[in-house]
């Protein structure tokens, strides 16, 4: 999932992205609910905007064709275990020897070197080893998965960023580069205070549920109608506004809550007071009051609620792209937004090998010979 995520982002903003699949197709084509043609709706969306060729790299002639294609490209983006593509003559050193300006981006579980480099790695494992899963969930329950393949998606973002960095240097005359993205390191980079607090104080951050452990109040609370609202009133001015909204302005001067650290130390008592107040309000009433008071808050949404929300609709947070049958496939909107050079949604993922003719160097050479 990681390399396709990076490729999708680059394709959204104008890159010509060629996806190389084996004859049986990318296995993600069968993951999740399928469209009538047998390809998953997710695959159609996740691989939008790309062109598709089919090569069996176990065959010398197809490996040679892949090499010829790679050498015509600015960037090679790959998601194999370290060293696997080199076995087919498609490693960074192989290609850079002919084209030193090539940008070669490798995504793997653990990176291109180190004791674990040869191990297979997936986002599920990266969540666990990066420390992310250890701190996710409630203290009296086992660690839980984030709920989506966050390791792959974050690694895809780092791969896209690394691609752009390397291209910038190359275009300034610095030559190509090998960008090394690890799923584990991508997630470890998100872990905020875990490392410095452990090294300098010995503190091991534990699971804490929906609370933010370093500022309060910041939690998810129930409402009168059985729904949930997240509230983040963890700066001094915002906390004072929340106290006033709760008809308890003196609460902000209570020594238990007068500073952020005091609120963190007494978070159980503070959360109890906030929850008591919200017990008397419906979700919509709570959201209206919190917004009018300038207190950051938001509902805990399902995908059904996201697609119905007027703000998401106005921001074009989701859209559609046509597949080869003309069916409009639901897809995520463009992120980020560029004012002067906006990206665009073009088409859904296509059939395996659909764009072979005209893309492969051998195909173009054959056509040229035929014309001659």
Residue-level pLDDT at 308: 96
Contact 329, 45 (CB under 8 A): yes
Closest residue by Cα to residue 79 from 64, 67, 93, 90 = 90
Catalytic residue (choose from 62, 152, 177, 271):
152
Q: How far apart are CA 58 and CA 55, in angstroms?
A: 9
Q: Where are the domains of the chain?
A: 2-190+309-371, 218-300
For residue 290, give the DSSP letter: H
Cβ atoms within 10 Å, residue 251: 19
Closest residue by Cα to residue 63 from 55, 52, 71 = 55
CATH of domain 218-300: 3.30.1540.10
Residue-level pLDDT at 363: 54
Instruction: Decide if 152 is catalytic.
Output: yes
Instruction: Tell me which residues of the chain have a pLDDT lower than 70.
Output: 362-372
Residue-level pLDDT at 6: 98
Contact 76, 106 (CB under 8 A): no
* Distance linking the first and last C-alpha atoms of the chain: 42
Contact 161, 10 (CB under 8 A): no
Q: How far apart are CA 65 and CA 80, in angstroms?
A: 18
Residue-level pLDDT at 94: 97
Closest residue by Cα to residue 232 from 214, 255, 258, 252 = 214
Provide the CATH topology of domain 2-190+309-371.
Rossmann fold (3.40.50)
Hey, which residues does 332 pair with through a beta bridge? 318
Task: Say whether 198 sits in a helix, a strand or coil.
Answer: helix
> Which tokens is 348 given?
């859904």
pLDDT tens, position by position, 302-332: 999 999 999 999 999 999 999 999 999 999 9
Sign of the dihedral defined by the CA atoms of residues 298, 303, 305, 306, in that order: positive
């Amino acid at each position: 999932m990681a390399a396709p995520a990076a490729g999708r982002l680059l394709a959204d903003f104008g890159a010509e992205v060629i996806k190389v699949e084996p004859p049986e197709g990318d296995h993600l084509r069968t993951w999740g609910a399928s469209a009538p043609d047998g390809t998953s709706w997710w695959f159609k969306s996740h691989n939008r905007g790309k062109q598709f060729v089919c090569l069996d790299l176990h065959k010398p002639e197809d490996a040679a064709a892949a090499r010829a294609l790679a050498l015509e490209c600015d960037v090679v983006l790959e998601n194999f275990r370290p060293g696997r593509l080199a076995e087919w003559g498609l490693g960074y050193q192989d290609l850079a020897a002919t084209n030193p300006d090539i940008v070669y981006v490798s995504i793997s579980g653990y990176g291109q070197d180190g004791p674990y480099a040869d191990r297979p790695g997936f986002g599920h494992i990266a969540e666990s080893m990066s420390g992310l899963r250890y701190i996710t969930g409630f203290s009296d329950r086992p660690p839980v998965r984030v709920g989506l393949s966050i390791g792959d998606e974050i690694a895809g973002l780092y791969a896209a960023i690394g691609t752009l960095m390397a291209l910038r240097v190359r275009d300034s005359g610095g030559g190509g580069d090998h960008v090394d993205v690890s799923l584990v390191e991508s997630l470890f980079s998100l872990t905020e205070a875990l490392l410095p607090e452990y090294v300098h104080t010995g503190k091991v951050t534990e699971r804490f549920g929906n609370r933010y452990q370093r500022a309060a109040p910041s939690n998810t609370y129930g409402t009168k109608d059985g729904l949930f609202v997240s509230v983040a009133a963890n700066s001094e001015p915002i906390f004072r506004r929340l106290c006033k909204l709760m008809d308890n302005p003196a609460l902000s001067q209570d020594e238990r809550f007068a500073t952020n650290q005091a609120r963190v130390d007494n978070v159980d008592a503070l959360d109890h007071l906030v929850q008591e107040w919200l017990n008397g309000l419906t979700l919509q009433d709570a959201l209206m009051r919190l917004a009018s008071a300038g207190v950051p808050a938001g509902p805990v949404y399902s995908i059904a609620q996201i697609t119905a929300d007027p703000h998401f609709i106005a921001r074009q947070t989701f859209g559609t792209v046509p597949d080869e049958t003309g069916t409009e496939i639901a897809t995520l909107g463009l992120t980020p937004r560029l004012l002067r050079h906006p990206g665009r949604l073009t088409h859904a993922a296509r059939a395996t090998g659909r764009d072979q003719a005209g893309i492969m160097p051998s195909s173009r050479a054959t056509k040229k010979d035929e014309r001659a």
